[in-house]
Structure 1
Amino acid sequence: MDLPEALSGITTPLVTPFEDGSSQIDEDAFTDLIDHLLEAGIDGVFPCGTTGEFASLSREEHSRVVELAVEHVDGEVPVLAGAAATSVHDAVAHAETAAELGADAAVLTPPYFHTANAPEGNQRFLKQVADRSPLPILLYNIPVCTGQRIEPETLAAVATHENVIGIKDSSGDLEYFLSVLRNTPDEFLMLQGYDALLVPALRMGADGGVNALSNVAPEEYAELYETAHTERGEELQDAIAPLFDACGSYGFGPATKTALEYRGVIPSDAVRPPLVEVPEDGRAAIGESVDGLVESGD
């Protein structure tokens, strides 16, 4: 599989559905979600990311979610498995398990909590994982969760590594995104992870997006990718805004699950601590936002 070509589109960071009241993974709901995405033309799936509550999964659950995704996708689109960890050893272990399960790439953040005391620290961390990973590595910049960004000079240094294929940038900083775009090789994949910046990023040269709300409205996201350089793309970007704002208020995992439950894709919006479900006074607004987004695609 030519990963850069396959990922030039929209990849969905999958939610991990839980059974209401038990907090067990709802495997049927998870595979139903994947069907919902594949039927809509999504270009890739990303289990065990931020929206998938990877940090609240046990090691066994983490592996099972990746396994389910690989089995159900059955080679139709790439599977990018989350490999975020605070140590090189654990990140490599996640990548090794993902490879054994048949995933196509691993997604790696810089370490969180124990952050680098100099940019060289992250460079060493990322390079050591890439050196040992049996899978290609997609880097993941999400400073709100890791406590620091991957500095542009760090990216420039690791972008030429033969096992590093690109980056998902969820910083929300378009200037940063463009700086990385200018200072990395043309073949380095640039994927926009901040939904509100998807059209601007695509117009400036991004290869695609990895967007939480594509769980909810995959048809609209697929169309947005195809029409990003037109007025229609702007209309779809505007239609995403209210639901994106709700994610900012309630968290991407909880808000995305509430929207999916509203659409009837999953039966429950249950999340695990420390996350909490969207309060009742937020559900109606999310429903209205979903309706507006879906209607924009009609």
Structure 2
Amino acid sequence: MELRGAFTALSTPFKDGQIDETTYRDFIEWQIEQGIDGLVPCGTTGEAATLTHEEQGRIIKICVEQAKGRVPVIAGAGSNSTREAIELTKMAKDAGADAALQITPYYNKPTPGGLVEHFKAIAAEASMPFVIYNVPGRTGLNLLPEHLKMITDAVPEAIAVKEATGNLNQGAQVIEQCGKDFNLLSGDDFTVLPLLSVGGCGVISVISNIMPAAMSGMCKAFFNKDHEKALDLSLKMAPVNRAMFMETNPIPVKTSLNMMGIFPEASFRLPIVPMQEDNKPKLKKILKEAGVI
């Protein structure tokens, strides 16, 4: 399975504390119309940590139904509990997702051997393509390239990594260890373009929630060897990228979607709270200058 281009780590709209299904379906349709290459429901940006398993299964099912096979769906299905990750992966597989996004177990900080056994156990119960998610800023564990190679050797389902360290040297070593055919996806919007140059095949992106055409267009331009256009799009997104992390993700991106009129509400589930009032005008100014609103 080849994963290529820009995949949006979808934000989840809420209404009165519940999933806003109508808005979510409309949002997915807009993403596809804008040229996005794939969709990732129930990741960090989708506030998966505050969803029940039932809600997570429903969101994945909505996404698969709405995508209608037009673009691949990589469903967030990871957990720091192997048993829970198995249950979530079965749910994603039953819903018809093309692949499962599997975060390295957070808080537990397993050894390399523990990581291998974790993913082997999931694959034994729910075999489907896995995208391993390496985000040490949230998990407290950095999956090194040599340990990723141990996983891919033991678990054929592990076909890709979402590399969110922002470390280009580490990204390059992933290709060195796992080979040029391995799917290296950026998980850090600041470093997509340089990561493509060392063998990356795309990105699971936050900013593509609000700028899907730009992020997808940058990847396409790079693959078409139009490096000037790719650089221009990268530079256009740079200030917005910074704005997406002026507060904890997904606060800025969901607030942006509300400012754009795509989400009727910018509501969150605790412990995430709405954007600080003094940051809203700053965000609006950046979005206006970038032509987003």
Contact 1:36 1:265 in 2 (8 A): no
Aligned to 1:293: 290
Distance 1:205 1:294 in 2: 31
Q: 2:144 aligns with which of 151, 163, 174?
A: 151
Distance 1:54 1:63 in 2: 11
In structure 2, what is the equivalent of residue 16 of structure 1?
Answer: 12
Question: Aligned pair 1:277/2:270, yes or no?
Answer: no
Q: Distance in 1 between matches of 2:115 and 2:210?
A: 34
Deviations 1:151-171, CA, capped at 9 Å, x for gaps: 221111122332111111111
When normalised by structure 2's length, the TM-score is: 0.94
Counterpart among 237, 245, 252 of residue 249 in structure 2: 252
Q: How many Å apart are 1:150 and its aligned residue?
A: 1.1
Say which SS state the counterpart of residue 165 (structure 1) adopts.
Answer: strand
Task: Give the aligned residue type for 2:100.
Answer: A
- Which of the residues 23, 32, 37 maps onto 2:31? 37
What is the CA-CA distance between 1:226 and the residue it aligns to? 1.8
Task: State the SS of the aligned residue for 1:190.
Answer: strand
- Output the amino acid matched with 1:13: A
Q: 1:48 aligns to what?
A: 42
Deviations 1:195-254 (A, max 9, x none): 000111112221111101101011111111122351222222122222222222212211
Q: 1:282: Cα distance to partner? A: 1.3
SS in 2 for 1:159: helix
* Cα drift, residue 269 of structure 1: 1.2
Alpha-carbon deviations, 1:111-148, whole Å to 9, x = none?
Answer: 112211x3222222223223332321111111111111
Query: d(CA) in 2 for partners of 1:31 and 1:294?
Result: 24
CA distance in 2, matches of 1:131, 1:243: 41
CA contact (8 A) 1:96 1:135 kept: no
Give the Cα separation in 2 of the matches to 1:151 and 1:129. Answer: 20
**SS of equivalent residue, structure 2 residue 284:** helix
- Return the letter of the residue paired with 1:8: R
**2:290 counterpart SS class:** helix
- Separation in 1 of the partners of 2:116 and 2:182? 17
Corresponding residue of 2:236:
239
Equivalent residues in 2 for 1:142-221 (5 A)?
142-160=135-153, 161-221=155-215
Q: Is the 8 A contact 1:159 1:165 kept in 2?
A: yes
* Structure 2 contact 72–98 (Cα < 8 Å) conserved: yes
Aligned length: 288
Q: In structure 1, what is the Cα distance between the partners aligned to 2:144 and 2:114?
A: 11
Contact 1:195 1:213 in 2 (8 A): yes
Q: Which runs of 5+ in 2 are unaligned?
A: none
Instruction: Find the counterpart in structure 2 of residue 265 from structure 1.
Output: 262
Q: Report the equivalent of 2:84.
A: 90
Q: Which residue of 1 aligns with 2:126?
A: 133
**Partner of 1:77: helix, strand, or coil?**
coil
Cα 1:224/1:294, change in 2 over 3 Å: farther
Q: Pairwise CA RMSD of aligned residues? A: 1.4
Is the partner of 2:184 in helix, strand or coil?
strand
Paired-residue identity, %: 32
Q: TM-score scaled to structure 1, two decimals?
A: 0.92
> Which amino acid in structure 1 is aligned with residue 11 of structure 2?
V
Please tell me the residue identity of whatever aligns with 1:141: N
Counterpart contact for 2:151–2:158, Cα < 8 Å: yes
Q: Cα distance, 1:63 vs. partner?
A: 0.8
